[in-house]
């Protein structure tokens, strides 16, 4: 299978069979550092650069930043649901449609960067407080009926951070932007 290097600059997500404590800690560190890394990459970009798609038929950098805020809020809530309910079925959302709304299409990115900073601080505080038994709690994603463990979701969202950061850094490199 050929992977589109513009769509998946770090490769597609692969669900791990098992997760070590070291891997989990590394993933939590990725989630913790993401808001600052993202801010560093986008803070000097012009409006025109922010409104440049990272690939043909892809989102603009602005939409990617707002998508990260949307997606990570949803994930944080899914964690809290799994920790407080017995295998809840979560509510999916149409991320492609959310990216077309005006708050993702034209709104300044600073607000989502600020949101991500606070959200990730709370998320990491929650993640680092979890016991091994908490990490095995699950939620059900109704689109595929899959039961997802929280430890696997931590790995997924560490990948998600790096995935979208790579969309931005690879575009900047291709365009010669600083």
In a domain, 126, yes or no: yes
In a domain, 63, yes or no: yes
- The DSSP bridge partners found for residue 60 are 53
The tens place of each residue's pLDDT in the chain, 178 residues long, gives: 666 999 999 999 999 989 999 999 999 999 999 999 999 999 999 999 999 999 999 999 999 999 999 999 999 999 999 999 999 999 999 999 999 999 999 999 999 999 999 999 999 999 999 999 999 999 999 998 999 999 999 999 999 999 999 999 999 999 999 8
Domain containing 118 — which CATH number? 1.20.120.450
75, HSE (Cβ side, Cα atoms, 13 Å): 29
Pairing label, strands 138-141, 146-149: antiparallel
The domain total for the chain is 1
In a domain, 5, yes or no: no
Closest CA to 62 of 75, 35, 43: 43
The pTM of the full predicted model, rounded to 2 decimals, is 0.96
Q: How many other C-beta atoms are found inside a 10 Å radius of the C-beta of residue 177?
A: 16
Q: How many other C-beta atoms are found inside a 10 Å radius of the C-beta of residue 31?
A: 19
pLDDT at 1: 61
- Residue 82 lies in domain: 31-175
In a domain, 10, yes or no: no
Helix locations, the chain, DSSP H = 21-42, 47-50, 61-84, 95-98, 102-105, 110-129, 132-135, 150-175
Q: How far apart are CA 10 and CA 20, in angstroms?
A: 21
Q: Give phi and psi for 141, each to the nearest 5.
A: -95, 115
In a domain, 134, yes or no: yes
In a domain, 26, yes or no: no
How many degrees, rounded to 5, is the angle at CA 10 between CA 100 and CA 160?
Answer: 50
Q: How far apart are CA 110 and CA 66, in angstroms?
A: 10
Spatial neighbors of 173 by CB under 8 A, at least 6 apart, are: none
In a domain, 85, yes or no: yes
């Amino acid at each position: 299978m050929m992977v589109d290097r513009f769509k998946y600059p770090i490769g597609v997500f692969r669900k791990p069979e098992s997760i070590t404590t070291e891997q989990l800690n590394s993933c939590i560190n990725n989630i913790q550092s993401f808001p600052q890394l993202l801010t560093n990459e986008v803070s000097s970009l012009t409006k025109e650069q922010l409104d440049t798609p990272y690939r043909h038929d892809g989102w603009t950098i602005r939409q990617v930043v707002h998508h990260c805020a949307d997606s990570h809020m949803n994930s944080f809530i899914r964690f809290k649901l799994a920790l407080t309910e017995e295998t809840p079925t979560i509510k999916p959302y149409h991320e492609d449609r959310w990216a077309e709304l005006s708050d993702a299409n034209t709104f300044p990115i600073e607000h989502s960067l600020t949101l991500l900073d606070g959200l990730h601080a709370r998320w990491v505080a929650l993640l680092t407080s979890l016991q091994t038994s908490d990490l095995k709690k699950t939620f059900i994603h109704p689109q595929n009926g899959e039961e997802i463990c929280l430890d696997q979701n931590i790995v997924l969202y560490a990948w998600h951070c790096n995935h979208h950061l790579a969309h931005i850094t690879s575009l900047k490199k291709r365009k010669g932007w600083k």
